[in-house]
Amino acid sequence: MDRLYAPWRFSYVTGKKKEAGCVFCNRLTGDEQEHLILHRGEYWYVMMNRYPYNSGHLLMVLGRHQAVLSGCTPPELAEMGGLLHAMEAALMEAFAPQGINCGYNGGESAGAGIPEHLHLHMLPRWAGDTNFMSSIGQTRIMPQTLEQSYQTLLPVFQRLLGSG
Does the structure show a pLDDT above 50 at 12?
Answer: yes
Q: What is the pLDDT of residues 29-74, one digit of tens each?
A: 999 999 999 999 999 999 999 888 888 999 999 999 999 999 999 9
121, with CB counted inside 10 A (0-12, 13-18, 19+), is: middle
* SS3 (DSSP) at 155: helix
CATH number of this structure's domain 21-161 = 3.30.428.10
Which residues have C-beta within 8 Å of that of residue 42, sequence separation ≥ 6?
A: 75, 79
pLDDT for residue 136: 44
- Integer angstrom CA distances of residue 49 from 3, 11, 45, 71: 23, 14, 12, 23
Q: How confident is the model at residue 131 (pLDDT cuts 50, 70, 90)?
A: very low
Q: Which of 34, 94, 24 is nearest to 59 (CA)?
A: 24
